[in-house]
Structures are given as C-alpha cells and as structure tokens.
C-alpha cells in the first residue's frame, strides 16, 4: 500500500446523474463491509458478483471451507486420542468426502445469512462479470451472453484473489489441485504432496494428516511461516514432525509429472517424490486481469495488486480498492475493516480512520496459531529491552480437563514500562484466546500493562488463565 495523500475528486457537473452512488465489485468481506456501511448511510449501492451467490472466495473456496474442514478433522483427532473413549483397534474414521458435507452445509448457511444482509439494506445485486468502461461506468456481462452498463459516482474494487497457477503445471489433470479445486476432491488419497508451506499449505497439511494421509510438505523457504515468532514457527515444525508430516525446506520444483495413478514431483535439487495427488499452494494473484483497468489508467503490479492510499483510494480519485487486491495483510478480517474505511472516505465523514496497527493473525493449523504485535526477533533487532512470560497449556486445569496438553502462550513486554509488545499463542482455541491480550494491548498509556493479568480475576478453570500464569512468569524474571 502506498503512503499517498488523499486525492481530490473532481467537481461533479450539476447535471450529472448516476444509477447508483457507489458500485462495489465483489461480495467478499471487503465488499460487504463497504456495502453495508454505505447502505446504512442511505446511499444507493449496487454490488456485482460473478459467482451465482454472494460471499466471494472467502465463503466459497477459502476461509470458511478450510476452517470447516479443519474443525471436523480436529474433532476427529480429539475423539481418537481422548482416553475416555477406548475404540481398541477400530479407530473412528472420516473420509474427505464426508467432512466436505459439513463444509457445504456451513457455506450454505453463510450464503443465506449474507444474502439477507444485502436484501435487508436494499443493496441491488448483479450476478455477472464486471469490467470498466470508464471511471464511472461498469459493463456487466451475464452468463447467457447479455450485457448492460451501470453507472456510479464511486466504484470500489473488492474482487479478491485466486491461487497462483504457473503455466508449466497442468491443473486440468485430475491428480493436480489448487486450494480452490481441492474442494472437488472425491476421495481420500493415501498420500499427498503439498507444494507451498505458507498459511494455506500448512492448514491443509494439518487437515490431510488428521485424516491419516501421508503428507509431504514442500517449503520453498528456510523455515515454516517465517513471519511468525521463531519459537512459534519451531513449535509448528516440531508438531508436524511428531505427527508424521515430512517437511522439505529450501526446495523448488523442476517439473510436475502427472501419471494415471498419481503425480511425480521433480525437484531442482534432483530429488523426486511420488504421491496420489498434489496440492499446489504456492502464492496467490489479485483478480484484476478481467476488469479492463487500462480503460481508467490503473496498472496493477505483476501479482495483480492495485496501489492505494490509507483510505484505499487508487490513483483515480473516485475508484477504491480493498481486500486481497491491495496485498498485505490479505486477511478476511482486515478486508471487512478496509471496506468500512473506504466507505467512510466516500462518505467524507471519517477521512482519518485507518486500519489498526496490530492486526491479529489466526492460522488454523492443528493446533491453531495466533499472534498480535511484535516478535522476539523484531524487538531484538530494534534493541527494545523486553522480557518474556510463558504459560504452557499442559499446566492449566482447563486444558487437562479437555485433554489438550499441546500448546503455550507467550507474552512479550517492555522491561521498564511493562507495556505489552507482542502476544503469541500455539494450541487449540489460540485464535480466540489472543483477543484477551489484544484488548489490553489496544489500551493507551498505563492501561497497557502486563500487571493487568495479575490483578484481574479470571474464571476458573479457563484457558484465559494462561494470561495470569504467563504474566507472573514474566514479572518474576525482572530484577
């Protein structure tokens, strides 16, 4: 995102008439956030969605499906490992097709709910492909070949992203998938190669390993999820190793050779490996190539991303872009807020609103990972005098009751001011647990203090108690 100032919009001719105040292209979290904010301010809003139902990639192929799959597998693992249930040699099993049924049910409920939002707020939905005619005019192309043009004073691009597909990989082959098409898998493979060990690759490695599938995870970098605190990244690597996932670091593919009964992956290092199928999960591309952006003078970068300012305004004053098409942080949670901020800018009643500085990260591996704020490596490099407080989940009564002995909470805080600088959590419910610490981190001045966790009273037994344990552990290190 560019740190550019707010561009001035040209003065509208008094006679100018538009079909809508704002057109939003895309109905994912970003598009929804913008549409609801504008509609509730009595603006005439239209959204254009190329899919047959609303929700965008987040609902249909990304966040919701992968998390629903993960939930089913996580509960299966819990059932198989809980000593209360003795299945003997006949352990319970689920197929990929079976857990997909639950996933499709969740998707259906989400679509129904999100459709009601648009209906209730009188937002008109066009189901077709959008492309720019000029800065105020959009052509909508329908599946039957028909087209129409609609106009608006402002336009918001919220088209999301799709899996990156290199030209030398045959994605038409039935044994080769990306993170969208993997949801069409009709069987549970005996083995899978996952190429790309980013967030999506790691999440699917957890899912397939939880289904007892042999998993080879190919990482093109030196360590897993290198943006994480190193200790948390190491914990995930160890947990994968302990569960039987084979990780190969610093590897790049030479070619992918599909066969009748599987796939052979040839690495640049000379290694070869074979599996029943391959999931290619190495990068994403912004969905801007079919928007005809050249008609309005906007040029995306090589990854299809659009440059914007802090209000998500592009170089064309009345055109905004939000969500995955602007790059970092590429999170559904952040996209919704970006849509809200862009809408505020259009309404011109909150031009100084910005995305929060410390955005929580939730990674839905098994177990989960979540973090907010600085890592130890960042604080060390910045020469910030910090201390560490830790709590291991295996020592918490609630975790012992639930049988969840894997995981920990780490709090980083300033040695002198005791200000909380970062929180990192590994274990079940991490994405929920993190928000307790985030709420304190967001406080101004003395209210952001690790001693809060010592002086407050938590329900007992709860996972939240980890904050008190970690705070005491860290404060005991001071001298």
**11 has a pLDDT exceeding 50:** no
pLDDT digits (tens, 9 = 90+) for 169-221: 999 999 999 999 999 999 899 999 999 999 999 999 999 999 999 999 999 99
Which string of DSSP letters, residue by residue, matches 19-31? SEEEEEE--SHHH
pLDDT for the residue numbered 2: 52
The domain made up of 367-475 is a member of CATH 3.80.10.10? no
User: Region 58-83: what's the mean pLDDT?
Assistant: 91
pLDDT digits (tens, 9 = 90+) for 111-142: 999 999 999 999 999 999 999 999 999 999 99
Residue with tokens 């109905």: 27
Name the band, by pLDDT with cuts 50, 70 and 90, for residue 80.
confident
User: Region 31-59: what's the mean pLDDT?
Assistant: 97
pLDDT for the residue numbered 354: 85
Q: Hey, which residues does 19 pair with through a beta bridge?
A: none
pLDDT for the residue numbered 90: 74
Separation CA 315–CA 313 (nearest Å): 7
Q: Supply the DSSP symbol for 6.
A: P
Separation CA 410–CA 471 (nearest Å): 9
DSSP SS3 for 252: coil
Alpha-carbon dihedral 219, 264, 60, 355, rounded to 10 degrees: 20
In sequence order, what E strands does 34-170 have?
A: 45-49, 124-127, 129-134, 137-141, 147-157, 161-163
Backbone angles phi, psi at 324, to 5 degrees: -60, -25
H-helix segments, 274-375: 332-347
DSSP SS3 for 441: helix
Q: Tell whether omega for the bond before 324 is within 30 degrees of 0, i.e. cis.
A: no
Name the band, by pLDDT with cuts 50, 70 and 90, for residue 357.
confident
What average pLDDT does the chain have? 93
Which sign does the torsion angle of CA 398, 402, 408, 409 carry?
A: negative
Residue 140: CB atoms within 10 A of its CB come to 20
pLDDT for the residue numbered 13: 46
User: Region 350-355: what's the mean pLDDT?
Assistant: 72
- Specify the higher pLDDT residue, 313 or 352: 313
In sequence order, what E strands does 100-190 have?
A: 124-127, 129-134, 137-141, 147-157, 161-163, 176-178
User: Region 378-394: what's the mean pLDDT?
Assistant: 98
- What architecture (CATH level 2) is domain 176-282? 3-Layer(bba) Sandwich (3.50)
For the range 306-310, what are the long-range contacts, defined as Cβ-Cβ under 8 Å and sequence gap of 24 or more? 306/157, 307/1, 307/2, 307/4, 308/1, 308/2, 309/1, 309/2, 309/3, 309/4, 309/5, 309/6, 309/7, 310/1, 310/3, 310/354
Measured in residues, the chain has a length of 479
Q: Hey, which residues does 285 pair with through a beta bridge?
A: 162
Name the band, by pLDDT with cuts 50, 70 and 90, for residue 1.
low
At the top level of CATH, which class does the domain 20-162+285-347 belong to? alpha beta
- Alpha carbon 436 to its chain centroid, in Å, reads 20
What percent of the chain has a predicted confidence (pLDDT) above 90?
Answer: 88
Lowest mean pLDDT across 36-50, 150-164, 346-360: 346-360
pLDDT digits (tens, 9 = 90+) for 226-270: 999 999 999 999 999 999 999 999 999 999 999 999 999 999 999
What percent of the chain has a predicted confidence (pLDDT) above 70?
Answer: 95
pLDDT for the residue numbered 15: 43
Q: Hey, which residues does 389 pair with through a beta bridge?
A: 411
- In this prediction the pTM is 0.93
In the chain, domain spans: 20-162+285-347, 176-282, 367-475
pLDDT digits (tens, 9 = 90+) for 420-453: 999 999 999 999 999 999 999 999 899 999 999 9
Q: Hey, which residues does 137 pair with through a beta bridge?
A: 134, 151
**322 has a pLDDT exceeding 50:** yes
**b/e burial code for range 300-325 (CB count within 10 A of at least 16 → b):** beeebbbbbbbbbbbbbebbbbbbbb
**348 has a pLDDT exceeding 90:** no
**3 has a pLDDT exceeding 70:** no
Topology agreement, domain 20-162+285-347 and domain 176-282: yes
């Amino acid at each position: 995102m560019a740190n550019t100032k707010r561009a001035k919009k040209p003065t509208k001719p008094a006679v100018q008439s538009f079909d809508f105040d704002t057109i939003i292209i895309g109905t994912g979290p970003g598009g929804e956030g913008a549409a609801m904010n504008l509609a509730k301010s009595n603006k005439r809003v239209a959204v254009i969605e190329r899919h047959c139902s609303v929700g965008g990639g987040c609902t249909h192929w990304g966040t919701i499906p992968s998390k629903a799959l993960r939930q089913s597998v996580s509960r299966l693992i819990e059932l198989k490992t809980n000593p209360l249930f003795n299945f003997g040699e006949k352990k319970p099993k689920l197929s990929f097709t079976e857990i997909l049924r639950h996933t499709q049910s969740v998707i259906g409920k989400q679509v129904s709910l999100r459709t009601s939002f648009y209906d209730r707020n009188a937002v008109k939905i066009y189901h077709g492909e959008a492309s720019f005619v000029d800065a105020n005019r959009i052509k909508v192309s329908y599946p039957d070949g028909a087209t129409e043009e609609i106009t608006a004073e402002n336009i918001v691009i919220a088209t999301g992203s799709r899996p990156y597909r290199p030209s030398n990989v045959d994605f038409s082959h039935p044994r080769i998938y990306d993170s969208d098409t993997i949801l069409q898998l009709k069987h549970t493979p005996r083995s899978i190669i996952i190429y790309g060990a980013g967030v999506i690759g790691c999440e699917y490695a957890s899912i397939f390993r939880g289904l007892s599938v042999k998993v080879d995870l190919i990482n093109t970098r030196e360590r897993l999820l290198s943006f994480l605190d190193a200790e948390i990244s190491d914990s995930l690597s160890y947990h994968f190793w302990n569960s039987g996932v084979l990780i190969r670091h610093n590897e790049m593919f030479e070619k992918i050779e599909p066969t009748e009964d599987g796939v052979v992956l040839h690495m640049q290092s000379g290694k070869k490996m074979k599996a029943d199928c391959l999931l290619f999960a190495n990068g994403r591309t912004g969905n801007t190539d079919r928007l005809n952006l050249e008609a309005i003078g906007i040029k995306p970068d090589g990854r299809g991303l659009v440059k914007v300012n802090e209000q998500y305004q592009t170089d064309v004053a009345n055109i905004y872009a939000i969500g995955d098409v602007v790059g970092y942080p590429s999170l559904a949670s952040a996209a919704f807020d970006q849509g809200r901020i862009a809408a505020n800018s259009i309404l011109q009643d909150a031009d100084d609103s910005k995305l929060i500085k410390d955005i929580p990260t939730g990674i839905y591996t098994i177990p989960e990972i979540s973090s907010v704020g600085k890592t130890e490596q960042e604080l060390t490099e910045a020469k910030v005098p910090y201390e560490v407080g830790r709590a291991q989940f295996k020592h918490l009564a609630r975790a012992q009751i639930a049988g969840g002995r894997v995981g920990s909470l780490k709090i980083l805080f300033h040695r002198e001011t005791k200000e909380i600088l970062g929180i990192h959590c590994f274990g079940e419910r991490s994405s929920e647990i993190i928000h307790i610490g985030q709420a304190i981190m967001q406080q101004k001045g003395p209210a952001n203090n690790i001693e809060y966790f010592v002086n407050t009273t938590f329900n007992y037994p709860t996972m939240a108690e980890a904050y008190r344990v970690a705070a005491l552990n860290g404060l005991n290190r001071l001298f």
